[in-house]
Every structure is written in structure tokens, then in C-alpha cells.
Amino acid sequence: MNDRHGKPLHYADDHLRAILGRVRTIAMVGASPKWIRPSNFVMKYLLGKGYRVIPVNPAAAGQEILGQRAYGHLNEVPGPLDMVDIFRASDAAGAIVDEVISLAPEKSISVVWMQLGVRDDAAARRAEAASLIAVMDRCPKIEYGRLFGELSWCGVNTGIISAKRPVMHP
Amino acid sequence: MTDKDKNRALGFETRAIHAGSHPEPVTGARNTPIFQTTSYVFEDVDHAADLFNLQTFGFLYSRITNPTVAVLEERIANLEGGRAAVCAASGHAAQFLAFFTLLEPGDEFVASRNLYGGSVTQFGHSFKRLGWNCHFVDPLEPENFRRALTPKCKAIFLEGLANPGGIVVDMEPVAEIAHEAGIPLIVDNTMASPYLCRPIEWGADLVIHSTTKFLSGHGTSMGGAVVESGRFDWAQNDKFPSLTQPDPAYHGLTFHETFGDFGFTMKARSVALRDFGPALSPMNAFLTITGIETLPLRMERHVANAEKITRFLEGHPAVAWVSYAGLESSPYRQLARKYLAKGAGSVFTFGLKGGFEAGVKVVESVNLFSHLANVGDTRSLIIHPASTTHRQLDKDQQVASGAGPDVIRLSIGLESADDLIDDLDLALNHAAA
């Protein structure tokens, strides 16, 4: 999105497409029960695309968000998980990444994804050193829409150029 | 995982044909279909709610999004090197969408005085009635923009290659002035097209087009576009509450937070386009998409013809002066080398030694040049701005914007250059006789 935290980030399309194609279960740290919040938008969209999304939010523990039971802490979420999506400010991301690293073997987590605007380069390096895939400053909803065609519908430059007949995902 | 996205390396010509346009997934139709429909069937009530709430991407009503228009939007965004674009029924409508998304009543902006006459009128008169106040400045000294800034200014606006006068504005330092003030630089890139100049590469944050001109290219279709660079941080100050504060027109949605680097485009579309309605028709979008496919070829020929014709005019005894930034004699030649390396477009002005009356005679004597109020057509066009496009301006404003009483504007088309030269030669000699 921008480079105010360091040099611009580049993630290859094929790399992000492979992550979003492989992952099935996502724990979303910071998922809001308020329907107008961005995290709620993203969670609803990903549920609609067939992902299982488990909200993590201490203020909503025990309640349901979009029909999914919310947990107070990441370590309470029953595994296995494929990915943790961090919907918290950048200065809170590092500690969550460290928790993901410690939980990864037990819960078979392979991807730690930091939302659009969330970036902690040192935490990403720690995750990668622990054999996790780290993505920063990207939104899985926007990237899913970009890579599988829907984002083109609202005038966004997806950068995807191909003369092959597209396969629309559900 | 940090490899450079290979798609970014594709050439302009490839992107002019392919960007935004994939084969239609259901039928395999290769060319972009004209989706001539007002509305789209919902999957169910929940899907409808998601669309109305902007929770998912999709089509709802063609005033806001249409699949044919969306192809054009993505193509223009791509060619300009921007993040996203929204199209509108005309260039004027595009300007309205941009300013409605930026300004509150009582806000101000600074604009170059060397603009298309219709923009001077829109900014100076009609916008004033909405409480938006424009300060016009001479753009030839970039510091003039800084001097005119007030705490209420929310943008700087200029035409890089200005209509009508062959003037090139040094936009890079103006972008720096805008960014030091925490406001965006808006560049109207209509006269150059993204083939000749890409303002975002020089620091522009929003790019405006009248797609009616070189992009559609054949004089068939009105249209406009606003392109967002994706690089401006709307949350850096409190000047843009429309983007950074919860929007009561959308249940308290905050556009910048929710849509990130295309938040401006989503807001312009979902509020300004939705609520004021200047939507681009699918048919016009289709014709513009088709036009853009040949934009690189057409611009090369437009430029080659304009260079030949301006050299001819410069040597003609009846001509007092020629203002074309592609000529060695132009005071804008150095700026044109910087911003318009592939050519200074094909719209320029010249003056006749015989003044106003000779000008009228030339306009009425040409045979191949069409006398009309447009530019950027395959056909060559001629006009006397003072009596037409710039007639709402007073005489001082006309002279200031390069449209004085003795001025003729040409838009050189794609005919045989020798035929155009012969046509002008006859008319000039007739006028001088």
C-alpha cells in the first residue's frame, strides 16, 4: 500500500494465489462484532468464499460473530489452523506473531498474514526464520478479489493481464 | 516471495489492448461485451445486502458499476500507472466527482489559469455556487501555486499539456509544493494521453481525463475518468474528513480505512457517482475501450503530423507565431523533452498577422479541417477559441489562457499530412489576399 514503514513490499501474484488457494481455516485476530468495521467486512467476505474463519477478540469471547464462535485468545482456538490474519495495529502485531510462532507446530499454522496498514518487518523475519510464510500490509479480501477477478469490477488496476478464459471462483 | 510482479513489466502497447479485458468467463467472448443493462439479479437477499453495504464486490445498478465500464476503468488506471479509476459521463463530470470527494462547502483549491475554457468556467462560476472557491494562478512559475495556498486549500489542479496553447507546466515541483502542504496534485492529462505523459510518475495523486478526446479518439463518445495513484495518505492530516471520518451516507463506513489505497475511488463511485448520477453509458465505454487499443499508434501519427504541420506554419508568411511545444522555437521545448519525450501532442495554436479577421477567414476557408468544438479526433479540427470554447471568459481571461482574439486552435488528425498542409496553405493565402 505504501512505504512509510520501509521499502515497498512486493509479493508475487502466484505466491499469494497459492496461499489463498491452499488455506482453508483462518483465525482472525481483532475481528469485530460491529458489522460496519473493516474486519467484519473481510470476515464476511472470506466466509462467503468458503473459508472457515474463527474470530479472536477478548471483548467478544464466547459470543458469535457472523455465526462463528469467538475466542478470547489465539491459544484457545481449537486447531488445526492454516493461517492467522492479524487485524490489529502495527505496534501490536509483533507480539501476536511471536504467539503464532509458538503455536504453529501444535496448530499446524503455516501462514501469518498482517492486514492492510499492518507492518512489522522484524516480526515477519522471525516468522520466516520459524518456517512460516509472512505477508504484511495486504488484505486477504482485496487480494482474493484482485487475483480471482472480482476487484476488476470496481475499477481497480489488478495488474492481472491474461488472454486465457478466466475461471470464476464461487 | 518478494519477486517483482512479472505483469508490471508488460509494455504500454500490450496493456492498451489487454488491461482490464479478459475473455468473458461464461461465453468465452473475446472482445469486451456491451453489457447494455441497468441492473443485475441478486443471488439472494443476503447478497443484495452485501452489495448495498459494499461488503462484497459485484454489480448492483449501472449508475454505479457496469461490467463494460469497469473494463475501461481498469484499463485507464493501468495505463496511467494508478491504483484505480472511476469513469463518468464526461470529463466535466469526472472533475465534479473528484472535487465533490475532496471538498466541503467553504473549502478552496488552487488551479492553473491555463485550462480548457470550460474548466475555468466550471471552477470559477459553477463550483462557487457549491461553496468551493478556486484561486487561479499563472502556472509557468511553480512557486505561484505555493503563494496562492491558504489553510482551506485542499488540492492543486493543472493541465500538464495545457489546452489550447501548447503550454507545458513543470508539474514535478508543483507536486512537491502540494505534498508539503499535505494536499493532492490533480493533473488533467487529456491533451497528452497516458501514451505521451503519465503524471503519476511525476508526483500527481489524481489524474483526470476527458476520454472524449484522444482515448476514445474517433469523435464518437463522451466520457471522463478520475484515476487515483494509491500513494496519497489521506489520513496524514484532518483535511479530508470525507475519506477518513465515518460517512453518514454509508452507515458510518470509513472509506480510507476500509478500502485503503483505492478508498478515494470507492468514495467517488459510491457517493458522488451514486448520488449525482453522471454515469458513463456502456456503449460509450465500449467505443472508448476500442479506441484505446490503437492509442499508441494513433498518438505517434498525431504527433508526426502535428510536427510537420507546425513546421510548415512556422515558415508561412501569413502566420505571426506558432505555439507548439514540439517546435525548437517553443519556450516550452525543454519542459516538453522532460514530460513529453514521445511528442507534444497534436493540439496547438497559431496567430495570424491579419489578426481576428484573417482568423475568421481561415476557419471559414478550410475544406478538410472540420470547424467544431472538440479535440483529439481522427479528423483534423479547427476552431477560433475566443468565439467558441473560451467565449464565456472576458478578454483578459482569454488572453491569459492563450485564447486571445487572433488565436486559431488546431487539433491535427490522422489524414495525410501533405493534404492538411495544402488545405491550410490555400486558406492562409486566401485570408492574406
Interface ipTM: 0.90
Q: Domain containing B271 — which CATH number?
A: 3.40.640.10
Residues B279 and B342 both lie in one domain: no
User: CA separation (Å) from B142 to B109, B192, B202?
Assistant: 15, 20, 14
Minimal CA separation from A156 to chain B, in Å: 4
Chain B residue nearest residue A41, CA to CA: B55
Q: Which pLDDT value is given to residue B391? A: 75
Taking Cα atoms as reference points, which of B227, B226, B183, B181 lies closest to residue B201? B227
Residues B206 and B352 both lie in one domain: no
Minimal CA separation from A30 to chain B, in Å: 14
Residues B211 and B332 both lie in one domain: no
SS3 percent helix, strand, coil of chain B, rounded to 5, is 45, 15, 40
Between A38, A45, A139, which is nearest B56 by CB? Answer: A45
User: Is B56 in contact with A48 (Cβ distance < 8 A)?
Assistant: yes
Distance, CA of B90 to CA of A97 (rounded, Å): 49
In a domain, B22, yes or no: yes
The whole-number average pLDDT for the span B148-171 is: 94
Residues B71 and B180 both lie in one domain: yes
* Residue A119, C-alpha cell as written in the block: 507492518
Q: What is the pLDDT of residues B360-396, one digit of tens each?
A: 899 999 999 999 989 999 999 999 887 777 777 788 8
Query: Of B291, B324, B352, which one is at a domain's C-terminal end?
Result: B291
Residues B227 and B325 both lie in one domain: no
Q: Domain containing B420 — which CATH number?
A: 3.90.1150.10
> What's the structural domain count of chain B?
2
Residues B133 and B192 both lie in one domain: yes
For the ranges B135-144, B188-197, B347-356, the lowest mean pLDDT is seen at: B347-356
Q: What is the pLDDT of residues B292-322, one digit of tens each?
A: 999 999 999 999 999 999 999 999 999 999 9
Q: What is the pLDDT of residues B79-91, one digit of tens each?
A: 999 999 999 999 9
User: Is B71 in contact with A152 (Cβ distance < 8 A)?
Assistant: yes
Query: Of B262, B291, B320, which one is at a domain's C-terminal end?
Result: B291
Interface test with A, best of B15, B27, B74, B273 (most A CBs within 10 A): B74
Q: What is the pLDDT of residues B30-65, one digit of tens each?
A: 999 999 999 999 999 999 989 988 889 999 999 999
Query: Of B291, B326, B351, which one is at a domain's C-terminal end?
Result: B291
User: CA separation (Å) from B84 to A66, A105, B11, B51, B416?
Assistant: 30, 40, 19, 19, 37
User: Is B25 in contact with A165 (Cβ distance < 8 A)?
Assistant: yes
Between B19, B65, B257, which is nearest A154 by CB? Answer: B65
**Sequence-separated (6 or more) residues with CB below 8 Å from residue A21:** none
Q: Which pLDDT value is given to residue A4? A: 44
Domain span including residue B391: 295-432
Residues B66 and B205 both lie in one domain: yes
Chain A residue nearest residue B55, CA to CA: A41
In a domain, B1, yes or no: no
Asked if the A15-149 domain carries CATH number 3.40.50.720, the reply is: yes
Q: Is the pLDDT of residue B8 over 60?
A: no
Q: Is B45 on the interface with A (CB under 8 A)?
A: no
Give the residue with greater pLDDT, B198 vs B165: B198
Is the Cα dihedral B259, B261, B262, B266 positive or negative? positive
User: Is A45 in contact with B260 (Cβ distance < 8 A)?
Assistant: no
Q: Is the pLDDT of residue B78 over 50?
A: yes
User: Is B70 in contact with A152 (Cβ distance < 8 A)?
Assistant: yes
Interface test with A, best of B13, B22, B68 (most A CBs within 10 A): B22
Chain B residue nearest residue A160, CA to CA: B7
Taking Cα atoms as reference points, which of B339, B348, B219, B206 lies closest to residue B284? B219
Helix (H) or strand (E) holding A156: none
In a domain, B51, yes or no: yes
User: CA separation (Å) from B52 to B230, B257, B279?
Assistant: 24, 18, 18
Facing residues of B227 across strands?
Answer: B85, B207
Please state the domain extents for chain A. Answer: 15-149
Residues B285 and B308 both lie in one domain: no
Between B28, B260, B266, which is nearest A1 by CB? Answer: B260
Instruction: Provide the pLDDT confidence category of residue A7 given band limits of 50, 70 and 90.
Output: confident
Distance, CA of B156 to CA of B84 (rounded, Å): 20
Distance, CA of A166 to CA of A97 (rounded, Å): 35
CB B171 within 8 A of CB B158: yes
DSSP letter at B422 equals: H
CB B126 within 8 A of CB B152: no
Residues B358 and B284 both lie in one domain: no
Cβ-based contacts under 8 A for chains A and B: 131
